[in-house]
Amino acid sequence: MCEVKARATDYFGHPSLAVTRDKQQRLRRLAAAWLAEHQPGRVTVRFDVAAVSGTRVEIIENAF
């Protein structure tokens, strides 16, 4: 799963800072619900964040 956060500049901080603890918990619950519904078998789940600032893109693997 990849959460994408974008900002035009870093003036208000790095885009990844928008992935708060509450947002992380919400994404975990959504992923668990999807896995329970679709039962894909034994899978590994990873949460990445794509932080876009202006024209820069940073991928943070295993962000949480």
Separation of alpha carbons 5 and 45, rounded Å: 20
Q: Give the per-residue pLDDT at 60.
A: 98
Q: Which two tokens stand for residue 3?
A: 């959460």
| DSSP one-letter string for 16-44 | GGGS-HHHHHHHHHHHHHHHHHH---S--
Domain locations in the chain as residue ranges: 2-60
Q: Give the per-residue pLDDT at 19.
A: 97
pTM of the full predicted structure?
A: 0.85
pLDDT tens digits for 11-48?
Answer: 999 999 999 999 999 999 999 999 999 999 999 999 99
Do the beta carbons of residue 1 and residue 47 sit within 8 Å? yes
Partner residues linked to 56 by β-bridges = 53
- Going by pLDDT thresholds of 50, 70 and 90, the confidence category of residue 56 is very high
